[in-house]
Amino acid sequence: MFRIAFYQPCIPGNTGNAIRTSAATGTELHLIEPLGFDLSDSKLRRAGLDYHDLASVTVFPNLDAAFDAWSGARVFAFTTHAEQNYADVAYQPGDVLLFGPEPTGLPAEVLQDARITAQLRIPMIAGRRSLNLSNAASIAAYEAWRQHGFASPSP
């Protein structure tokens, strides 16, 4: 299916919410260190409710290790600075939906990495800074999944 990736996430509740989204959609959640919290954080556990055992969560020590694991996959970096709309992409199983930390987003060196397939944006009303990280990831994951008829992931 698809992969949601959080680069150096800072807020445990957002990651907990993403765990729930991953469990509900069959997407994998990839976390790239350093994390701004401990995975046993009570806020992360509370936000994830009882979905932790139903989600596939992988932690990578750095971005290079994540790219190694994603070998051959398309990686879409989400940023408010992109021109291309996320809904204009024909997503393929295995695609990585990469999001940056709160509140700064992905740094320039990540956005300009040659292994990034494209930079995408989620439209917002002018003058708004950004969406909540877990909400943005949910919007993108559901669009990718919708394009594939909300098919159940293969075992």
Distance CA 60, CA 31 (A): 6
130 is in an annotated binding site: yes
The annotation status of 71 as a binding-site residue, yes or no, is no
Residue 122 assigned to a binding site: yes
Tokens of 33: 């260190």
- Sign of the Cα torsion 121, 123, 129, 131 reads negative
- What tokens appear for 69 in the block? 């694991």
Q: How many other C-beta atoms are found inside a 10 Å radius of the C-beta of residue 92? A: 12
Provide DSSP, 107-123: -HHHHT-TT--EEEE--
Residue type (1 letter), 109: E
Query: What residue numbers does the annotated binding site cover?
Result: 100, 122, 130
Q: Residues within the annotated binding site for S-adenosyl-L-methionine?
A: 100, 122, 130
